[in-house]
Amino acid sequence: MRIRLLSFAAVALVLASGAAAGHHSVPVNFDQSREVTVAGTLTEIKWVNPHSHWRIDVKEPDGAVREYLVEFGAKNTMVRAGFPMDRFMVGDRVEVTGNPGRRDRAVLLREVLHNGERLNPEMRPRASRD
């Protein structure tokens, strides 16, 4: 019985550690070899740990409005980087550039155009795309 219990605990530990590592794995969740840009209206803003996110409504070329999930760093990371979180409000228009998610309509934020200003989560200048 003791061996069974230890075996069960070991299997549970291995499965739990794999799920935790997968949750935070950028390459597993986002295609870092490509960038996409979507523009839309902020409908939800969550500054939380371990990942902050926005939801934006994007009007597609076919006229349909679809919701996108934009993910980026934890609230603590954003605060330390000096990201101006207080400038963003539900209803604001944003243009988001980032790596597309491996699931539909998800983007890992690399840069946002908001009120004429380009910002990135690391608050470092991005190389020009000219």
Over residues 40-91, the pLDDT tens digits come to 999 999 999 888 999 999 998 999 999 999 999 899 988 888 889 999 999 9
Same domain, yes or no: 50 and 78:
yes
CATH number (domain holding residue 121)? 2.40.50.140
Same domain, yes or no: 38 and 91:
yes
Domain extent at residue 4: 1-30
pTM: 0.74
Give residues with Cβ within 8 angstroms of 94, minimum separation 6: 39, 40, 41, 42, 54, 56, 88, 112, 113, 114
pLDDT digits (tens, 9 = 90+) for 90-124: 999 999 999 999 888 999 999 999 999 999 887 65
Q: Does residue 29 surpass a pLDDT of 50?
A: yes
What letter does residue 108 receive in the DSSP assignment?
Answer: E
Same domain, yes or no: 100 and 61:
yes
